[in-house]
Structure 1
Amino acid sequence: MVAEGVVTVKRQTPLSSRSWISIDATGKRTVLDEDKYAIMQRVQIHARDLRILDPNLCYPSTILGRERAIVVNLEHIKAIITSQEVLIRDSSDVNLIPVLEEFQRRLPVVQGDAEAGEEDESPFEFRALEVALEAICSLLAARTMELETSAYPALDELTSKISSRNLERVRKLKSAMTRLTARVQKVRDELEQLLDDDDDMADIYLSRKLADVSSSINVSNEPLWYPTSPTIGSKFSRASRMSWDDEIDVEELEMLLEAYFMQIDNTLNKLTALHEYIDDTEDYINIQLDNHRNQLIQLELMLSSGTICVSMYSMIAGIFGMRIPNTWNEDHGYVFKWVVSLTGTFCVVLFVIILSYARFKGLVGF
């Protein structure tokens, strides 16, 4: 008997693991369907560097300078920048669409004023890196502004009315603020670490390294070649930097990174101010709750004091209300008035004494 309806299923490789978008110096956009080994050979980077850009893995924000490429992992922007093109992961993130358009618009060399004869002399890798930094800083700044717009009114409403709905709303906003702060902090730390190390910034000068290697090889009348191994390339990069001046000139890149470092630091300061405002609101709410708790304690003290006095009055009334034959119960009806009056007066005086003592000790505030 032959089985019917048998379907052969072929496992397909996810598109995100092979699909890349290439944008060259002219702004031309090309979709590449290559595996990781072809990409590694194309840009001369290690497998561990390419693994940082895997969208299925979670790596912190990173900017790495290699011999012939810059590995950029900034949130949704996962790119490899060379001196001639930018390779970007074809992600389904909607935030990546305007970034691709910005790459296409700004990567081509923009001619300056025709009369002045000026043009944009920034290296290709700097223009690409600037687009990536501007995109991520603008995105985080916009998220921070949205959070501020929602958080401050919610906190003010909570201070005016403490309710479960307002508390839950503030709790969600605080969780969102914590996650956003962590994202901003990672980008800021990466930029700060890059600014603190001149050698790391020198690794990002791809055009300068290629020009330096080309000139040194032409002087020695040897053919121009590029290292096929990233390890050899790293050694070659260090050797080429030794031919530079004693003080590595990274002023152009340093100014670029400092501009976006100040922007991301300003975003972090806004989040820090929001965090402090939330802490101040929590302290204010705790003070209010403590005040209400103290008022309840004062009320409990007053009720307890009144209960003691009434209990004493009830005890005396119970004693005189016993049906026990006694000689003083006979022909002494006027005693009832004195017992009731004196007992009531004694209880009231005792109540006043207790409250006065509590006020003297600072237990009540009235």
Structure 2
Amino acid sequence: MRLSIDWRSLILYRKSLYLLLPPPPALLFSCHNWQEELYSQKDRPATGGDVSAPAAEKMAREALAAAADAQSALKKKTAAARSWILFDSSGEGTILDADKYAIMHRVQIHARDLRILDPLLSYPSTILGRERAIVLNLEHIKAIITADEVLLRDPTEENVIPIVEELRRRLRSDNVINQAHGEGRENINGQHDLDGVEEDESPFEFRALEVALEAICSYLDARTTELETAAYPALDELTSKISSRNLDRVRKLKSAMTRLTARVQKVRDELEQLLDDDDDMADLYLTRKLAGSSSPVSGSGVPNWLPGSPTIGSKISRASRASAATIHGNENDVEELEMLLEAYFMQIDGTLNKLATLREYIDDTEDYINIQLDNHRNQLIQLELFLSSGTVCLSLYALVAGIFGMNIPYSWNDNHGYVFKWVVGISGLVSGFLFIFIIAYARHKGLVGS
């Protein structure tokens, strides 16, 4: 069977598989035609030099299977990139499958801000205040916070699941407390069972931001504790026994510490940058800005186009108070947010101090190991000095033997056999005294230890 194969199309097709891109329709059509041609010609006899039908059929099946796998992988990545969970002010979560244009239209942010939250791209930790939203990128926490809802990306990720649960729990509890206090104000007696519970007057965006900051600070602190638990015993073991295994173990721990320090440092720098700029902190007051630009309200403080709801009434009440603060000239009052950020800044700074202490301990261990290695090196140098001195003395002794071993006629030892003993004895004593003198001189000068 003679099979015509478009190798150029096949090469382009395989390149599209490596890039995890959907292959062009023309290439898929070519592969389908190739498979149909194989099935139609599989009964024809094969001639020399042509591709055998079973081999070509196998290649076609593998190509089609690879195309299906690539398309399924691309669909999974696309689905993961479009996965969001929406929390409203009552703590109810809703899974959203929306593209970036729908998200941009919903929260009114630019594409460059949304690109920061792309899980396929690497961006440092960032907290950005926009006109109607807060863009939050803290390690695995990628969220968009507005005045009345939170959009959290990749809610099924392992590290994001605890944040989802904490957001749901925190927002629900705050909503229940606010509803209870709202009903309490309408009761003429004013006696309730929630006297010991205070209503959270913080804006919605600050409560959501607090959950995110608490989660990232706790996460980094837990990673630091795990690193400390593994690093200190490894360093102590290395000081007691220097081996290749212990050195490689400490090297890996030091690399992990360097990476973790960079992550913690970036979060700390972002919080410090916010604390140093009051304008940036003022941009995070979404409820205040929303109240300042909202439409006129009725005499009861609630817009007459909203239904009578305790939750909405409580939110509008807080917005009215924020609007009143703005009118009285407190639009630059960022004390509430400053206190919130300072609390977590101190926590992340404590985590960074732990890593700095661990780095100092590693540096001290390295210095101690270098001192040990220098000590061993000095001992080897001393041994080399002893051996060299002994070699010099033995060389002098061998010199005497070499001189008397020459084939030179002499007669003074013909009748006196004791002369040999004297020569050997005196040569040995001179060599021994010379070795002792060299060692004593080296110790006197401090070249060797005592």
Could you tell me the TM-score, scaled by structure 2's length? 0.73
> Residues 60 and 217 (structure 1 numbering): CA distance in 2 closer, same or farther, change over 3 Å?
farther
DSSP 3-state at the match of 2:412: helix
Q: Distance in 2 between matches of 1:40 and 1:243?
A: 31
- 2:140 maps to which residue? 76
| CA apart distance, 1:70 | 0.3
Q: Deviations over 1:314-333 (max 9, x none)?
A: 11022223343212121121
* 1:256 equivalent in alignment to 2:340: yes
DSSP 3-state at the match of 1:214: coil
Structure 1 residue runs of 5 or longer lacking an equivalent are: 224-240
Q: Distance in 1 between matches of 2:168 and 2:386?
A: 77
Which amino acid in 2 is paired with 1:22?
Answer: L
Q: Distance in 2 between matches of 1:312 and 1:217?
A: 113
Aligned 8 A contact 1:16 1:91 in 2: no
Aligned 8 A contact 1:61 1:73 in 2: yes
Higher mean alpha-carbon deviation, 249-258 vs 321-330, is at: 321-330
Q: Distance in 2 between matches of 1:151 and 1:117?
A: 44
Which amino acid in 2 is paired with 1:347?
Answer: S
Higher mean alpha-carbon deviation, 303-312 vs 208-217, is at: 208-217
Higher mean alpha-carbon deviation, 286-295 vs 99-108, is at: 99-108
- 1:95 maps to which residue? 159
Q: Deviations over 1:161-190 (max 9, x none)?
A: 001111011011101111110110010000
- 1:17 maps to which residue? 81
Q: Distance in 1 between matches of 2:433 and 2:155?
A: 82
> Residues 31 and 304 (structure 1 numbering): CA distance in 2 closer, same or farther, change over 3 Å?
same
Relative contact order (C-alpha < 8 Å, sep 6+): which is higher?
Answer: 1
- 1:267 maps to which residue? 351
Which amino acid in 1 is paired with 2:282?
Answer: A
Higher mean alpha-carbon deviation, 195-204 vs 11-20, is at: 11-20
| CA apart distance, 1:353 | 1.5
DSSP 3-state at the match of 1:328: coil
Aligned 8 A contact 1:69 1:81 in 2: yes
- 1:344 maps to which residue? 428
Aligned 8 A contact 1:71 1:81 in 2: yes
- 2:442 maps to which residue? 358
Aligned 8 A contact 2:155 2:161 in 1: no
Q: Distance in 2 between matches of 1:91 and 1:331?
A: 109
Q: Distance in 2 between matches of 1:154 and 1:116?
A: 50
Work out the percentage of aligned pairs sharing the same amino acid. 72
- 1:208 maps to which residue? 288
Q: Distance in 2 between matches of 1:162 and 1:15?
A: 50
Q: Distance in 2 between matches of 1:251 and 1:298?
A: 68
Q: Deviations over 1:33-74 (max 9, x none)?
A: 111111111001111000000000000000011111000000
In the TM superposition, what are the counterparts of 1:179-218 in structure 2 within 5 Å? 179-214=259-294
Which amino acid in 2 is paired with 1:55?
Answer: P
- 2:232 maps to which residue? 152
Aligned 8 A contact 2:155 2:164 in 1: no
Which amino acid in 2 is paired with 1:206?
Answer: L
In the TM superposition, what are the counterparts of 1:277-296 in structure 2 within 5 Å? 277-296=361-380
Higher mean alpha-carbon deviation, 347-356 vs 315-324, is at: 315-324
2:414 to 313, 330, 334: 330
Higher mean alpha-carbon deviation, 1-10 vs 135-144, is at: 1-10
Aligned 8 A contact 2:288 2:326 in 1: no
Q: Distance in 2 between matches of 1:253 and 1:185?
A: 21
- 1:65 maps to which residue? 129
- 1:125 maps to which residue? 205
> Residues 66 and 47 (structure 1 numbering): CA distance in 2 closer, same or farther, change over 3 Å?
same
* 1:142 equivalent in alignment to 2:227: no
DSSP 3-state at the match of 2:123: coil
**Which of the pair has more CA radius of gyration?**
2
> Residues 146 and 56 (structure 1 numbering): CA distance in 2 closer, same or farther, change over 3 Å?
same
Structure 2 residue runs of 5 or longer lacking an equivalent are: 1-32, 40-60, 182-192, 304-324
> Residues 214 and 334 (structure 1 numbering): CA distance in 2 closer, same or farther, change over 3 Å?
same
